[in-house]
């Protein structure tokens, strides 16, 4: 048991509820520890709302102690979920894994916290906090690795990654999220077994990938994906179009500094792909249709943006009105050199402001004004009116009506 001095802080206060629950279990004569990521984050001073408690308390007694807890399937694992004070607390019986198949394993309940910690993936996640003494049980030098900002597996990394390939992606996510270096042998094993991730479900691949891309240091995560060869398994083609892959890392670094979400960052990663190919890649990973549409829209419109002054009226209106136009402009700032970006930004300053105004005329207005039947021509007139409204040429309803009368003759 290693002593670790925890200062009273707002972060520590978040743990009070979880500590009280673990203490309640201990008061009945059982072992109970806060374990895993919540202990790691407490040591790092990072807030969390997800807590794991490991115990040897019998399942039936947990049910009696916490009647509001929800037992998770499969029931034989003895895992309960409890929501308290906006925190999510998972209570699980000590267990160990055996007979791995590359992702799943068989599980048996055990009485020892030491055996429970041994099954975990990385040393920094194999820490157990005793709620009564606030001392940390550290069997694998996790505290040392936290102090040195290093990620390493428990035991031989090749064995751990052969047991469960998802640990490879989890490791990159942790290194990205915590801004840790990956211990050389661990990273070498990630590279060697990168191909094993192809056997993982696309749901797990997407979940871990989004976790990497949502990080404030996603550019580091993508660099690690590229260095280990995992990028080819997740986003085939993302780097192949570039003579210097480092350029993507620089773009993502700017995106991190700007606080972009994973949707915009994926548009950066897939920018060189045509929208159809990007859609195929994202569909394979089962991204939501709404996100795929937005990402491919960004990719498509970024090409338009660079030649905006030669766009047809319907193309410009489509770009400005039917997409996240402000988001598109923020993406452009990442890609274009400062001089070109200033020109684009200056050109679109008024267009962006005018785009916030609703259409000055609608289809019924055009139909009544020009006495024409519903159809293609009304749509064309609306586009031309909106186009000139965006450019600032039309400011009032009267201006719009006059212009509509002129343009209808040209379209006939």
pLDDT at 165 over 60: yes
- Residue 2 confidence (pLDDT): 59
- Residue 140 confidence (pLDDT): 97
Minimum mean pLDDT range among 68-82, 211-225, 232-246, 381-395: 232-246
Mean pLDDT, residues 5-23 taken together: 74
pLDDT digits (tens, 9 = 90+) for 76-86: 888 999 988 77
pLDDT at 55 over 90: yes
pLDDT digits (tens, 9 = 90+) for 96-153: 888 777 567 788 889 999 999 999 999 999 999 998 888 999 999 999 999 999 999 9
- Residue 242 confidence (pLDDT): 57
Please give the class, per CATH, of domain 1-148.
alpha beta
- Residue 311 confidence (pLDDT): 86
For residues 103 and 199, the answer to whether their CB atoms sit within 8 Å is yes
pLDDT at 180 over 70: yes
Domain 154-228 carries which CATH code? 1.10.110.30
pLDDT digits (tens, 9 = 90+) for 272-303: 888 898 999 999 999 999 999 999 999 988 88
How do the domains of the chain map onto residue ranges?
A: 1-148, 154-228, 235-354, 357-412
The band of 4, judged by pLDDT with boundaries at 50, 70 and 90, is low
pLDDT at 240 over 70: no
């Amino acid at each position: 048991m290693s002593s670790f001095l925890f200062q009273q802080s707002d972060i520590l206060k978040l743990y009070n509820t979880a500590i009280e629950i673990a203490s309640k279990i201990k008061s009945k004569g059982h072992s109970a520890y806060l374990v895993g990521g919540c202990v790691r984050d407490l040591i790092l001073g990072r807030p969390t709302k997800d807590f794991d408690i490991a115990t040897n308390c019998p399942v039936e007694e947990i049910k009696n102690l916490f009647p509001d807890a929800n037992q998770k399937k499969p029931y034989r694992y003895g895992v309960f979920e409890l929501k308290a004070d906006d925190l999510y607390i998972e209570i699980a019986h000590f267990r160990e894994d055996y007979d791995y198949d590359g992702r799943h394993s068989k599980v048996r309940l055990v009485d020892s916290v030491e055996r429970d910690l041994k099954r975990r993936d990385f040393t920094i996640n194999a820490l157990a906090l005793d709620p009564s003494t606030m001392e940390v049980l550290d069997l694998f030098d996790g505290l040392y690795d936290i102090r040195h900002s290093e990620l390493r597996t428990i035991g031989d990394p090749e064995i751990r990654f052969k047991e469960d390939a998802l640990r490879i992606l989890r490791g990159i996510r942790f290194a990205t999220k915590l801004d840790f270096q990956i211990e050389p042998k661990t990273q070498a094993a990630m590279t060697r077994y990168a191909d094993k991730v192809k056997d993982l479900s696309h749901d797990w691949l997407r979940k871990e990938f989004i976790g990497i891309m949502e990080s404030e240091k996603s550019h580091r995560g993508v660099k690690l994906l590229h260095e280990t060869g995992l990028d080819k398994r997740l986003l085939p083609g993302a780097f192949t179009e570039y003579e210097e892959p480092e350029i993507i890392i620089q773009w993502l670094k700017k995106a991190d500094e700007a606080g972009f979400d994973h949707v915009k960052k994926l548009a950066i990663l897939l920018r060189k792909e045509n929208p159809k190919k990007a859609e195929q890649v994202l569909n394979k990973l089962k991204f939501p249709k709404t996100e795929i549409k937005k990402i491919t829209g960004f990719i498509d419109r970024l090409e338009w943006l660079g030649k905006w002054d030669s766009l047809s009226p319907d193309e410009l209106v489509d770009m400005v009105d039917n997409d996240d136009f402000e988001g598109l402009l923020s993406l452009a700032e990442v890609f274009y050199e400062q001089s070109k970006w200033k020109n684009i930004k200056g050109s679109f300053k008024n267009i962006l402001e005018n785009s916030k105004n609703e259409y000055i005329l609608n289809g019924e207005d055009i139909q009544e004004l020009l006495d024409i039947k519903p159809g293609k021509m009304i749509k064309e007139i609306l586009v031309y009116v909106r186009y000139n409204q965006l450019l600032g040429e039309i400011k009032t309803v009267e201006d719009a009506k006059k212009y509509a009368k002129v343009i209808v003759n040209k379209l006939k």
